[in-house]
Chains A and B, each alone.
Chain A
Amino acid sequence: MLKKVNEKQNIKLSAAEIPHVRIADANFPAPFRSGLEYSSPARGTWNIVHTGMLIPEAHEIFVCAAGCLRGVVLTAAEMDAMDRFSTVAIRENNLLDGDMEDLVIEGVTDILNKLPKRPPAVLVYTSCVHHFTGVDLDMIYATLRSRFPDIDFTDCYMNPIMRKSGLTPDQLMRSRLYMLLHEREKKPEAVAIIGNDLPTDEDSDLMKLLKGAGLKVHEITSCRTYDEYQQMAESSVYISYNPDAAPGGDMLAERLGGKHYALKFSFDYDEIDETFAGLAEVLGLEPRSEEEIAALRADCERELAETKALIGDTPVSIDYTFCPRPLGLAKLLLDHGINVIRVYADGIPGGDRAAFDSLQKEHPDLMIYPTVHPGMRFARTANVDAQGEDKVLAIGQKAAAFEETRRFVNVVEGGGMTGYEAVTRTCRLIREAFREEKEMRELVQIKGLGCEVCLR
């Protein structure tokens, strides 16, 4: 329970006053007006430092104001990766003097000259102020490449001010991850899974399909050296299943050749079949037979029934950090009798449109809650007052924090699941969460869940 900073003020919102909307009354894709933003203590999603560190042996250099550097520096420190991370601080005089280009070039040069070992690749992150001052990034990178011809440089961005225009910082970061790949001869038997932070499950539908066909599968999460990373460029097909990775996949295919296929992350059986059939076609493989599909669906139904039997009418909440399709998951669970009461999402992802439309009609009383609305500061207290601690089973870290529950599924960004396996694994995770409480407070505050995959 939150402690009050000032008893005399007695600010307290009841559960009814916490901002929310019935899905039947919600607008698509923005159910809530944008305004001041609150920050949940749940921190398991990855940021641009974690994602950049996926490139083995690469060094990250951030050029920003101290206030902006603080979070990324400590992300690197918490990863125990300070030896792969450096900074150049922008000061007020740099804004006034117009010497931003010099600051980046000389700062990066200075750092590279001081490193005990020359890295094969450097990710230079510029920030909002570079964008606003019209810094000549082309000149900066051309100069750096001429000074350090043995290093691959790529442009990365920490410019959250652009999150509402064009590609989001997350989409940009996922595209930058593959800009360092050099063109090489394509191999028809090689494919690459791109744009995901966490390793794809070996038991996932995607891995089973690719490995079952004898294909060589590259994935940045399993690259241990920069040379291994470069081998990804031999792939004939690039497969993304994180929707934010799709723009980067298109850029990669355009630059290096080969095809990009954006596999849909879905909890809808028909859509799963459709998207995997599309992938099979791109790979020149036979689609799943009707018998295979029937067996996979039966597995899912069995898992869902077992889950319902175990948790009964336990209220369930879901948040958007769990997977790219929180409403798709809500629909699947509700359709199978599981008592989903809340979905925490500030916006509705485009891929969730069909689920949104269906839920409006079939389950109109499902409540949508924001995560950043200022009133959410008091949601934990209100929820505990209304239902008590540990009463709700949460799927996702933010939901767990808002519900103040130790019964939660601790997964972010889909956790490497794809296809029908996403359904069966989610069911198993729900049952596990129901049976075994976790140290929620400690677990959700860890940044970048699973980011130790970057440390090698």
Chain B
Amino acid sequence: MKQTARIISTYSADVMGVCSALFELGGMTVMHDASGCNSTYTTHDEPRWYDMDSMVYISGISEMEAIMGDDEKLISDIADAAEVLKPAFIAIAGTPIPTMTGFDFEAVAAVIEQRTGTPSFGFPTTGMNTYIHGASMALAGMAERFVDEPDGGHGRAEGDRLRVNILGLTPLDFSTNGQDASIEQWLESEGFEVVSKWAMGSSLEELRRAAEADINLVVSAAGYGAARVLYERFGTPYAVGFPAGNELPGLLADQMKLKLREFEEAGGAGAPEAAGLEEISVDSGVFLDGSAGKGGSTYEEGFVAVIGEGITSLSLASTIELECDIPAKVLCATECPDGILRSCDRMTPDEDDIIPELEGAAYVIADPLYKPIVPESAEFIALPHEAFSGRIYRDEIPDLVSDINELLIKIK
């Protein structure tokens, strides 16, 4: 039956995605919930909780407040806290109970903003989607509200380095093991200048300058919503990809430069000739024509299955195809925008969706908590993912940007 998990874990939820995305930006994020979300997020989903003084709270809604529709309690509690703590912004994220009671996130945020004078957001998460949904919503909200018009427009002189924002960085996908810094270093080594990182390692002030960038790099689906907003607002095109591998990162950087030029030469945002050029993706598609890989492997037999978040998994699958000569398909267990995954990839939100897709796999790359459902005929390669197993394997999460060979050698 769909929606059951006999033995595997569950992904971090949308409400936690909001908290994770906004954690370092100096705001106050309130999960509108009775109790559990607070300890779940801070224990399992937030490696920065012990060391950084971010203001993430729960509302502690009670049965009577929910039944009576007592939104004033929440509003005054937030206003009281904001008066003392002076956050840069206030964000409310929803859970199942406010969803059921029809809580009006937008209206309550407007009242709070009016009362406190602090920019406020209502993110209608439900606790029933994955973190990607919430993080994407939150980063898109930041892009809508806080990014300033660039001083003097994009104005790039010949020879200037291309400027880029990294979108979709949260510890839920990249942990706190330095992968965020590795992505930045790789971009700089490829001749880019990083304007801001959404949202690890950048302040709200740096995010405000995001419109100065020539291009955005969406490293996980959590950054896709912000990429679309920045495109709509400022005409900034975006590339989709995670620079993991020995060959793929170079291809990705080349495509970013080439396609950006094509996009600009076509007239940029709004020009009919540039329509559809704003999204730049790099995936191998080596075997999509039906050809076989090493040992006659195909997407049906002898393939590599990569289970996880869509964009990071797709990049990893592409790298495997490029470097290991084996078809690799993505089993995407989290939300992923249309048009990102290839025809061989699958959306697999439930245990029952995943199990049949693993038949015929020679290798399965996934979080260790997936191992019990992996067939014995496949070799399991553990790739811990904070959004799935939380802190349990945190110390074992590799920095795939700086060194992917330790993983690839298990396939080669």
Residues of A bordering B, CB below 8 Å: 2-6, 8-9, 11, 13, 17, 34-39, 41, 43, 64-71, 73-74, 77-78, 82-83, 85-92, 95, 103, 106-107, 109-111, 114-115, 127-129, 131-133, 158-165, 372, 374-375, 377-378, 381, 441, 445, 447
Contacts and interface: CB of A to CB of B under 8 A. Distances in A.
Contacts of A36: 30, 57-60, 77-78, 81
Given A37-B58, A372-B60, 17 more contacts: A6-B24, A6-B88, A8-B26, A41-B49, A64-B96, A68-B127, A74-B40, A77-B390, A82-B9, A83-B7, A90-B3, A92-B126, A114-B6, A128-B34, A131-B63, A161-B35, A374-B85
Contact of A77 (B15, B88, B369): B369
B313 interface: no
Contact of B43 (A35, A43, A107): A43
B16 interface: yes
B53 A381 contact: yes
Interface in B197-250: 203-205
A375 B57 CA distance: 11
Interface residues of B, number: 78
User: Which 8 pairs of residues, A with B, have the shortest CB-CB distance?
Assistant: A67-B127, A71-B40, A67-B13, A160-B35, A6-B26, A110-B1, A161-B34, A36-B57
B100 A129 contact: yes
A213 B204 CA distance: 68
A5 B26 contact: yes
Nearest to B94: A67
Contacts of A441: 50
A131 B66 CA distance: 12
Given A67-B13, A70-B13, A74-B392, A37 B23 contact: no
B55 to A, nearest CB: 6
Nearest to B26: A6
Interface in B1-51: 1, 3-16, 23-26, 30, 33-45, 49-51
Interface of B: 1, 3-16, 23-26, 30, 33-45, 49-55, 57-64, 66, 77-78, 80-81, 84-88, 95-97, 99-101, 126-130, 203-205, 350, 369, 372, 389-390, 392
B88 A71 contact: no
B240 to A, nearest CB: 25
A88 B51 contact: no
Contacts of B203: 6, 8
Contact of A129 (B42, B57, B96, B130): B96
B164 to A, nearest CB: 23
A427 to B, nearest CB: 30
Contact of A39 (B10, B38, B80, B128): B38
Given A8-B203, A34-B60, A67 B96 contact: yes
Contact of B4 (A74, A88, A132, A378): A88
Contacts of A34: 60
A155 B52 CA distance: 40
Contacts of B11: 66, 70
A11 B26 CA distance: 9
Most chain B CB within 10 A, of A77, A103, A110, A131, is at A77
Contacts of A128: 34, 96-97
Given A70-B40, A163-B34, A111 B4 contact: yes
A289 to B, nearest CB: 47
B63 A162 contact: yes
Contacts of B5: 73, 86-89
A403 B108 CA distance: 36
Contact of B24 (A5, A8, A11, A129): A5
A133 B87 CA distance: 36
Most chain A CB within 10 A, of B34, B61, B81, B369, is at B34
A77 B36 contact: no
A92 B124 CA distance: 13
A160 B61 CA distance: 9
Nearest to A166: B63
A243 B142 CA distance: 47
Contacts of A378: 53
Contacts of A377: 53, 55, 85
B202 to A, nearest CB: 11
A370 B42 CA distance: 18
Most chain B CB within 10 A, of A41, A70, A375, A381, is at A70
A129 B11 CA distance: 20
Contacts of B130: 66
27 contacts: A3-B51, A5-B25, A6-B203, A8-B205, A9-B87, A11-B53, A13-B84, A35-B77, A39-B39, A41-B49, A41-B50, A65-B128, A66-B13, A70-B16, A70-B390, A71-B37, A71-B43, A73-B5, A74-B40, A95-B99, A95-B100, A114-B6, A159-B34, A160-B34, A160-B36, A378-B53, A441-B50
Contacts of A9: 26, 86-88
A6 B389 CA distance: 29
Contacts of A447: 43
Nearest to B96: A65
A2 B126 contact: no
A77 B8 CA distance: 9
A86 B6 CA distance: 5
Contacts of A83: 7, 372
A73 B100 contact: no
Nearest to A93: B128
Contacts of A66: 10-11, 13, 127-130
A371 B4 CA distance: 36
A263 B16 CA distance: 41
Contact of B1 (A6, A92, A107, A164): A107
A115 B57 CA distance: 38
A40 to B, nearest CB: 8
Nearest to A380: B53
B77 to A, nearest CB: 4
Contacts of B350: 89
B77 A65 contact: no
Given A161-B61, A161-B63, A91 B51 contact: no
B14 A132 contact: no
Given A74-B9, A161-B61, A2 B52 contact: yes
